[in-house]
Structure 1
């Protein structure tokens, strides 16, 4: 395939902060343009990157081999479905769709169309998380915490679980590397059905996995701790890596040349998608992998409501 033509659908905060700065680099792909229903806003952003501002999703698709979708979750089913039917490969922010049924339909559609459909679980591509996964030798326990400062509401618990807690579940279970069985749970909400705190315990083979999130912890801290036979590993905020054993403590400093977008896995996720499309190889978070964590979160929500 010649140089891959890339487009962007949706120009909200995540597209502007994380994706356009990477996609606008001149490498083995070409960022040809973007589409957003808010054409006035879209033109300003597109002009700043010197790319075309398309007037419709179908027009964008006609000029692209692959499109990255950063529209609202509520629009994913319609937008991703239309793009796949128009014959382009798709990368979409998590979750794949609002409901598990819609997500399953999109996975099946991508299979029928023979197109790559990748869900953007960027943490799987964070270098320190990848290093931790490669170095884990059957952890006895693994815990992931991702807390917030003042983030209770305004959306309900279902939205928060699928929009934010989904990252924690996907990353922790990916690190554990086994199918998960729920052992115990705690999910607290307020009178408005907004999430306050969640903690869940899973068994993944011989590993006990804990996921946790507090929506008003006074901290934006994210950490992973893994206990193995002979060593304890700790990764904080995807920037600091630590290994403690009888031989001492090893800490890895953050490379001075590494950007925040590289540290948090956005750069790696985009490159993986482009390589998968260009080389016609499977994307890591496509198919069943794209919706495994969503299926687990749906089970957690159902268990909470019973």
Structure 2
């Protein structure tokens, strides 16, 4: 395939903060334009990046081989379906769709259309998390915490579980590398059915996995601790690494040349998708892998309602 032509559907916060700064560099791809239903806002953003602003998804796909979708979760099924039927490869923010049934339908449609469909679980491509995964073979336990300063509501617990807690479950179970079996759970809500705190314990092979999130912890913190045979590893906010063993404590400084978007895996995720489409290889977070954590979260919600 010649130089990959890339478009963007949806120009909200995540597109502006994480994707446009990378995609606009146009290295072994070409950013050929964007579409957003809010045309007035879209034109301002597109003008700032000197790319065309298209008036419809159909018009956008005439100039693209692949599209990055950053629209609302509620719109994912409609937008991704249309793009796949129009014959382009798709990268979409997590979750793949609002319901598990819709996600399964999109995976089947991508298969039928013979198009790549990748879900943007950026933490799979965070360098320190990839380094941690290489040390997980002898892990007895892994704990991942992702807390918020003041983020209770306004949406209900289901939305928060699929929008934010999904990252915790997906990352922890990806690192553990085994089929997960739920052991125990705690999910606290307020009277408005908004999530306050979640903690779940899984068994993945010989590894006990704990996932945790507080929505009003007073700290915007993400950390992972893995206890293995011979060493304890700690990664904080995807940028600080510490390992402790009989030889002492080792701390690795964040390389000065590594940008925040590289640290957090966005750069790696984008490049992985571009390479997968260009080389016609299956992306890591596609198919069943893309909805594995969504299946687990749906089970957690279902077990709570029973």
Query: TM-score, normalising length from structure 1?
Result: 1.00
Tell me which residue corresponds to 2:151: 151
Aligned length: 306
CA distance in 2, matches of 1:137, 1:95: 28
Tell me which residue corresponds to 1:122: 122
Q: Give 1:136 deviation, angstroms.
A: 2.1
Unaligned runs of 5+ in 2: none
- After superposition, what is the alpha-carbon deviation per residue over 1:92-121, rounded to whole angstroms, capped at 9, x for unaligned? 000000000000000000001110000000
Q: Give 1:134 deviation, angstroms.
A: 1.1
Paired residues for 1:96-175 under 5 Å: 96-175=96-175
Q: Give 1:259 deviation, angstroms.
A: 0.4
Tell me which residue corresponds to 2:79: 79
CA distance in 1, matches of 2:213, 2:268: 25
CA distance in 2, matches of 1:144, 1:167: 10
Q: Is the partner of 2:187 in helix, strand or coil?
A: strand
CA distance in 1, matches of 2:217, 2:135: 30
Unaligned runs of 5+ in 1: none
CA distance in 2, matches of 1:44, 1:107: 34
Q: Give 1:124 deviation, angstroms.
A: 0.5
Q: Give 1:89 deviation, angstroms.
A: 0.2
CA distance in 2, matches of 1:62, 1:84: 13
CA distance in 1, matches of 2:26, 2:179: 40
Q: Give 1:305 deviation, angstroms.
A: 1.1
Tell me which residue corresponds to 2:274: 274
Tell me which residue corresponds to 1:176: 176
Q: Give 1:62 deviation, angstroms.
A: 1.2
Q: Is the partner of 2:165 in helix, strand or coil?
A: helix
Q: Is the partner of 1:140 in helix, strand or coil?
A: strand
- Is 1:40 aligned to 2:2, yes or no? no
Q: CA RMSD in A?
A: 0.5
- After superposition, what is the alpha-carbon deviation per residue over 1:192-211, rounded to whole angstroms, capped at 9, x for unaligned? 00000000000000000000
Query: TM-score, normalising length from structure 2?
Result: 1.00
